[in-house]
Amino acid sequence: MDLDLTDKTALVTGSTRGIGLATASGLAQMGAEVIVNGRDKAAVGEAVAKVQGAAPLAKVHAAVFDLGNAAGCAALVKQFPDVDILVNNLGIYDPKGFFEIEDSDWSKMFEVNVMSGVRLTRHYLKRMLEDKDWGRVVFVSSESGVYIPKEMVHYGFSKSAQLVIARGAAETTKGTNVTVNSVMPGPTWVEMAPVRLAARAKTMGTTVEDLVARTFTERRPASLLQRYAKPEEVANLICYVCSKASSATNGAALRVDGGIVTNPF
């Protein structure tokens, strides 16, 4: 199995922590030159150091840009006009009841979670097809794109949109060595998970421990894993899809959700 990414350059958006950071580290360990992205200069610097620590021989670049708007995406592609691998990982998450979701919430969720990937894919995929004989684009979606969470419908909507966009973009790659796929994580224990759960526990008058336990008895009872995944467990699948070994996988929505979605297709 050829997992070597030497001489390949990978951009992972939203990669200062969580799944994005784990993916950036994994790709660097596979030999790729990696571009780490985030809005905060200090956070990006820390993430670059972590990736470099995981793969001391790798070339790692900092890309401090807010990709939640068109200007940020344009500035990034100007500085890094050419990549072999694009992982559209950037995303926001905002639990809120349907009747409390304002127009501005819908717009922001769409702009950050959907349009960042659209803008970057439009640029990099076109270059992959015109100037290269190989390329990988991966959208990090979610099982929430299929199993829409009632506590944040706008998030589920954005993740569904990613699945559709990835499949549509894949149609442009027919007969080439370029692929576009999406990966669908389930509940993952990222750095912000305790913070989010603490805020939710406060509003519900309960504890973080109680909410963690109820995640797989109430919110996601179909889970076969029955625990939060580690970021590295999700990144393993993303990194495989970015590799040469995944050459026959294209236009697919691949699950790493712990078995939450019961439909096998």
Catalytic residue ranges: 155
Rounded to whole angstroms, the Cα distance separating 124 from 138 reads 12
- Residue 185's φ and ψ, nearest 5 degrees, are -70, 160
Count of alpha carbons within 13 angstroms of residue 223, beta-carbon side: 23
Count of alpha carbons within 13 angstroms of residue 250, beta-carbon side: 18
Structure tokens at 120: 């970057």
Rounded to whole angstroms, the Cα distance separating 203 from 207 reads 10
Rounded to whole angstroms, the Cα distance separating 12 from 84 reads 11
Q: Which residues pair with 256 in a beta bridge?
A: 185
